[in-house]
Every structure is written in C-alpha cells, then in structure tokens.
Amino acid sequence: MIEPLVITDEQPPTHRPGLWIGGIALYILLIGIGTNLSGEFALFITASFNVLPFAGLAILAYFAGTQFNWAWIATGIWATLLIGTVSVYTFILGVASLLDIPPGGLNPDQPPSLSPPAVLPVLLLIIGIVSAIALGLLTLLPSIRHRLAHFIPINPSSFVHTVALTTIVIITLMMFVPLLITGQPPLLALVNMVGSDAFSDLNNDEQLRNQIYGLVWTIPASLLAVGFGVRRNLTETLARLGFVRPTLRQGLLGVGIGLGLAGLITIALPLIETLWQALGWSTTDDEAFGELMAFAISPIGAVVIGITAGLGEELGVRGVLQPRLGLWLSNLFFTSLHAFQYHWDALLVVFVVGIACGFVRKHTNTTTAAIVHGVYNFVMVMMSVIS
C-alpha cells in the first residue's frame, strides 16, 4: 500500500495561494521582458534564473494538500520544466565541448561540426542525462525515501521534502554527466576552443555586477524556499535558514577557519596535482580557468566573489538544503554545481571546503559558514591577483 504524502511536518499554509501564484506569473512575465531587452534591467532579471525557479517550485509544493489537488499538478509541471531546462542546458554544453572549431575560430560561413568519433559521446550524454533523471525519480518511491531517512533528516511522508529530494538528486547527478562522458569540464573545453569572450557578451564590470545581482535574488529566494510568508514568519524563517547574527566568537572562528582552509588548500593543491599526474588522471586546466574567471581577478573582484559566492552559496546549500537533505547530499549538490568548470582534482577541493562549511553550519549557523566561505574565496582570489 502506498502511503499518502503529507505537506510537511510544519503548520498548514497561512495565506491563500492567489498572491503567490500571481507573483510567479509576474516573474514569468519579467523573464519574457528581460530576455528580449538589453541593458542593466535585462542583466538584473537574468541574474535571477539560477535561484528563483527553485523558490517557485518550493512555493507551489507548500500549497499541496494531503490529497491530490491543483498544487500537485502545478508542482509537477514546474518541476518538469525546471529539470527539462537543466537537462537541455547540460546537453548543449556537453555537445558544444565536443565540437570541432574551424581554424581561426568561430565563423558564420564555416560553422563548427561534430566529427564522427564525437557521435558516441553525444549518445552517451543523452543516456547519462536520462539515467540521472531515472535514478532521481526513484526517490518518489516511499520505500526509497524511508531508507534514505535513516541517513538524511527528511520526513519521508512530506510532499515538500519529496519534491526537494527528487529535484536535488536529479540535478546533482545530471551536472556530473558531461565531465563523466567527455572527460573534460565543458566550460573549460569551450574556453580552450574559442576563448571566454565567445560565449559571454558581458565585460568584466558587467560580470561582477551580475554576481551582485545574483546575490540580491538569492537572499529573497532562500527565504521563500523555506516557507517565508507561506509557513513561517520572518523570525522563524531566519532561524530555519540559520541566517542570524553571529557572536563575536563565531565571527572570529569563521575568519580563522577560512584563513586556515585557504592555507591548507594552497599547500594541498600541488600535492593533489602531482598525485593526479602520477596516476595518469587529467587535472583542471589552470590557464583556461584563469581566463574564465579573469573578470574577478582583482582586489574588487576578490571582495565581490567573497561576499556573493560565500553568502549566496551558503544560504542556498547550507541554509536551505542541509537541514533537510543532510550534510553529505547537500554537499554533493554543492560540488556538482562546479562540475562544468572543474576537473575531479579541483572538485575534490570543492567537496572538502563544502564539508568544512557544512560542519560549521551544523555546530554554529549559516552566517558563520558564509564567513568561512567568503574569507576562503577572498584569499584564493587575492593569491591569484598577486601571483
């Protein structure tokens, strides 16, 4: 017998869905307007694409009843569109990294093409993406969720937790597919083929502002993703996120851990690279990565990346996800978000840094974890500036 899903283990929705559905519709309208415009408004709107769709999915899931209702359908449609968009983006990036670029770079008269040996990797990309979706959908089975509940702090009967678990598992698996199939991070492969300017119309200042705009969207999206205005008031929401003012001791601890991590990773990176090379494994192309991140290699860039990536990623991963999906699964998701730009050696570093931030979040709060992450990012970028 399949047990019914409940909304969650929290209180029922405190507001009618009309306002929230209207907000989602307004956002869809803004997407349509923003993508057809240029300039600062378009830059601001497009910076929301990485986070607000997930907040929209959470809002719809919160309105799902214990029995089949309109929100079940709306959540399913939204999740399908979200996962489908990520699938298409992943596939396009994977295929693009396999293209043969004509000598002299991109040319409208001589478009890039796929060589015959690349046909098999393209097919494997499709199989890999479909397999990631299929494996993720297994978490819809109550028996699977009950087993996972022994390892992660989810309520296996919660509709909200089920939607979060399934979506995150699918996207985590999917993001690793191009690296697994092609043997190279797709973004770095594209940088090597055509240069970083070929797939970004933004100059350095615009890319930095894009990072800031992304954080501006991430903060309210994180609040909405844990039920602000639907299940929780602001105080309850901030407590659920762990987005609270740290004590002086916690602030100093965060700075110290961030500095320590930066020093440890700086020492460990050459050792990891040596080990990888000794085993005959590929390593991250530092030159291509440097070109990809050139917009941030400055003192101002170090501050922007420290604040935006540190606070934004910690809010999303350690604030929203870790209390429900646990330290390890949420950190795998965090690591997968870097799989388009890093090889396995650097992904190991990302995983270690994420675990450190996760332990800090577990024993203090998300704000302290953000200090750790921000200080680490700032130091690593500044080391690139002075090197």
Strand, coil or helix: what is 228?
strand
- pLDDT tens digits, one per residue of 173-220: 999 999 999 999 999 988 877 766 655 667 888 899 999 999 999 999
Stretch 224-250: mean pLDDT = 93
pTM over 0.95: no
| Backbone torsions φ then ψ of 18, nearest 5 degrees | -55, -45
379 closest CA partner among 359, 344, 347, 353 = 353
pLDDT of residue 198: 56
| Paired tokens of 40 | 């600062």
Write the DSSP symbol of residue 245.
Answer: P
Model confidence band, residue 30 (pLDDT cutoffs 50, 70, 90): confident
Stretch 301-309: mean pLDDT = 95
User: Across 27-31, 107-111, 367-371, which has the greatest mean pLDDT?
Assistant: 367-371
Stretch 323-332: mean pLDDT = 96
CA distances from 7 to 61, 141, 152, 156 (A): 8, 16, 18, 11
pLDDT of residue 27: 74
Write the DSSP symbol of residue 8.
Answer: -
User: Across 6-15, 27-36, 229-238, which has the greatest mean pLDDT?
Assistant: 229-238
Strand, coil or helix: what is 97?
coil
304 closest CA partner among 234, 222, 204 = 204
Stretch 338-347: mean pLDDT = 95
- pLDDT tens digits, one per residue of 71-104: 889 999 999 999 999 999 999 999 988 887 655 5
Domain ranges of the chain: 18-386
pLDDT of residue 325: 96
Distance, in Å, from the CA atom of 169 to the CA atom of 90, rounded to the nearest integer, reads: 15
Give yes or no for residue 300 having a pLDDT over 50: yes
Distance, in Å, from the CA atom of 46 to the CA atom of 55, rounded to the nearest integer, reads: 15
Among 98-102, 266-270, 305-309, 331-335, the range scoring the smallest mean pLDDT is 98-102
Burial 262-285 (b: 16+ CB within 10 A, else e): beebeeebeebbeebeeeeeebbb
The answer to whether 272 and 349 are in contact (CB under 8 A) is: yes
Mean pLDDT of the chain: 88
- pLDDT tens digits, one per residue of 242-273: 999 999 999 999 999 999 999 999 999 999 99
